[in-house]
């Protein structure tokens, strides 16, 4: 009986091939798992950088405000806080009084252009003008005409 000898020289090559294939598959799986994390980290870094820039801007503004000194904020009375303004209502009341925007301006201590912009909704009156508007709303045609006449004289 003839004995055949088996050459085991190819076995280390199979072991090495298996080892390299397992390593390749492991790297591929890890890459798939970590790609989403990498994207999230990149997004967070961008967000942090934007927040840092925003914080620097706010700190500069705060320093300028401190250097300028404390701003005196006028205290509003309770009646000032309850004043409402509607552009269409304001325009209707002016027309009811029979006044033009040019005539309404001096009654409110404002320019005719401001009155026009308030009526068209392009601007909103400040608190002092809201008080004046509330006072004019209480007037009738005769009162408005008398007051306007007194202001023009």
d(CA 21, CA 142): 99
3-state DSSP of 102-140: HHHHHHHCCCHHHHHHHHHCCCCCCHHHHHHHHHHHCCC
Q: Are 101 and 119 in contact (CB under 8 A)?
A: yes
Please give the share of the chain, as a percent, with pLDDT higher than 70. 84
Structure tokens at 150: 């007194």
Span 20-73, pLDDT tens digits: 999 999 999 999 889 989 999 999 999 999 999 999 999 999 988 888 766 554
**Checking phi first, is residue 98 left (phi over 0); if not, alpha (psi -120 to 50) or beta?**
left
Provide the 10 A C-beta neighbour count for residue 70.
Answer: 7
> What's the confidence (pLDDT) of residue 54?
94
pLDDT value at position 57? 93
In the structure, what pLDDT confidence band is assigned to residue 3 with cuts at 50, 70 and 90? low
């Amino acid at each position: 009986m003839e004995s055949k000898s088996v050459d085991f020289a190819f076995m280390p090559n199979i072991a090495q091939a298996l080892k390299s294939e397992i390593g390749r598959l492991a790297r591929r799986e890890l890459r798939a798992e970590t790609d989403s994390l990498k994207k999230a980290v990149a997004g967070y870094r961008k967000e942090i950088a934007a927040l840092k820039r925003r914080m620097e801007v706010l700190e500069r503004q705060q320093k300028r405000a401190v250097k300028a000194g404390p701003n005196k904020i006028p205290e509003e009375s309770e009646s000032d806080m309850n004043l409402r303004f509607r552009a269409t209502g304001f325009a209707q009341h002016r027309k009811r009084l029979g006044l033009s925007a040019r005539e309404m301006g001096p009654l409110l201590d404002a320019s005719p252009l401001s009155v026009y912009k308030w009526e068209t909704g392009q601007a909103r009156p400040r608190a002092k003008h809201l008080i004046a508007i509330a006072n004019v709303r209480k007037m009738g045609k005769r009162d408005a005409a008398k007051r306007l006449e007194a202001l023009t004289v």
